Amino acid sequence: MTTPLIEARDIRVTFDIRRASDLPWTEPPKLRAVNGVSFKLEQGKTLGIVGESGCGKSTLARALIRMLPAEGEVLWEGKTDLLTLSPRQMLKYRSDIQMIFQDPLASLDPRMTVGEIIAEPLRTHRPKMGRAARKEKVREMMEKVGLLPNQINRYPHEFSGGQCQRIGIARALVVEPKLLICDEPVSALDVSIQAQVIALLEDLRRDLGLTIIFIAHDLSVVRHVCDEVMVLYLGQMMEAGATEKLFTEPQHPYTQALLSAVPIPDPEVERNKTLIALEGDLPSPLNPPSGCPLRTRCPRASEICASKPPTEEVAGRQVFCHHPGPAAEVQAVLAES
C-alpha cells in the first residue's frame, strides 16, 4: 500500500469569539471553523476542496501548514506529525509545502521587485546558494510560468492580475516543493486568464510531479483539474471520493444541491433542469445544529439526523450522512449535461 504524502487526521480549528459585551472573566463563545476533517493524499495527485463561503476551506489549508493553531494530526510521508513540531523544526518542511493565495496582488510585497519576490524563498531555504545561481534560478522559473526574464526588475503594480498570480506561482515553486496548496488561485481573475493559470498549473504538475490541494468555488474547474474531491459544510466533511464518481453519482444531499446549481452551457438544458434548493439560511457556526450540520436545511432530514452520522463507505467514497443515496433530479441533470 502506498504511503500518502500527507494525511490529515481529525483536524479541528477553534476560535474564541470575544464580543464587546462579554465580561473579561467569562468564557468566550467557541467557533469551530474546522470540525474533525480527515483525508489522505498520495504523491502526484490533486485534491479539490469545495463548499460555500465560510465552510472552512481556507482555514483547513492554513491549519495544514501551521499558519493557524489546530488540533489533530498532519502526518507528512507517514512519519512526522507537523502539528507537534516547534517553529524551528517546522522550518525544514516549509520548502516542501508551499501555498498560492487568493488575491494575487495582495500576496506580493509592493516594495520588492519581481526578482526579489521570487528569490526570497531561496534566500530562506537555500542560504548557501550564490547570488548568480539564485538569479539564474529566478529567471528560469519566470520563463517556466510565462513571464519575460527582462521583467525581473519591475514591481507588482506594473503587472496585471494574471501576471501577478504567475509571480505567486513562481515564488511558490522556486524551492521545488512536493506539495502545493492553491487557495482559490483563479477566483479574482477574468475567465480567459483563469483558463491560462489553470493550464499552467496542470503543465507544472505534470512536468514537476507536484501534489496539489486545490481550493475553489467553481465546480467545473475542480472537475477538470482534480483527481479527488472533498465537500465541506460548516467545517465538516460531507462527502469525499474520486472526482468523476462524485460528480456523476453524488450520494450526499449537500453535494447534490451544489451540483444542481452548476450552470450548464446548453441553454435548453439549463432552462429545464431541476434545481435542488436547500431550505432556510446557513446556520451560525457559533451555534451549529446538533448531529448532522445540514439537518435544518436537508430535504431528507429525520429525527435520527439530530445524532452525529457515521462516516460510511458508500459507492466507493466517504459519506457523512444517515440517509445517503442518489437523487433522481441530479442524475437527470448530469445525464443531460
pLDDT value of residue 107:
87
Helix (H, G, I), strand (E, B) or coil at 72: strand
How far, in Å, CA of 216 to CA of 184, rounded? 5
Give me the pLDDT at residue 333, please.
41
Percent of the chain residues past pLDDT 70, beyond the cut: 95
Confidence of residue 328 (pLDDT cuts 50, 70, 90): low
CA dist., res. 245 & res. 61, Å (int):
24
Mean pLDDT of 303-310: 90
User: For position 13, what pLDDT does the model report?
Assistant: 95
Which residue ranges form the domains of the chain, and what is each CATH number?
6-17+30-96+177-336 (3.40.50.300)
Tell me the average pLDDT across 305-313: 88
Give the single-character DSSP code of 275: P
For the chain, give the percent of residues with pLDDT over 90: 52
* Helix (H), strand (E) counts: the chain: 11, 12
Which secondary-structure segment (H or E) carries 14? strand 6-16
Residue 305 and residue 320 in contact, taking contact as beta carbons nearer than 8 Å: no
User: What would the pLDDT profile of 20-63 be if each residue is shown by its tens digit?
Assistant: 777 777 888 888 999 999 999 999 999 999 998 888 999 999 99
Choice between 190 and 284, residue whose per-residue pLDDT is larger: 284
- Residue 331, pLDDT above cutoff 60: no
pLDDT in the model for residue 335: 47
For the segment 219-226, the average pLDDT, to the nearest whole number, is 88
**DSSP assignment string, 298-336:** -TT--GGGGSPPPEEEETTEEEE-SS----HHHHHHHHH
Given a cut of 70, whether residue 269 has pLDDT beyond it is no
What's this model's pTM, rounded to 2 decimal places? 0.89
Which is higher by pLDDT, 335 or 291? 291
* Cell, residue 212: 496539489
- Angle among Cα 73, 77, 83 to the nearest 5 degrees reads 25
SS in 3 state form for 103-172?
CCCCCCCCCCCHHHHHHHHHHHHCCCCCHHHHHHHHHHHHHHCCCCHHHCCCCHHHCCHHHHHHHHHHHH
Q: At 148, list the grid cell.
A: 519575460
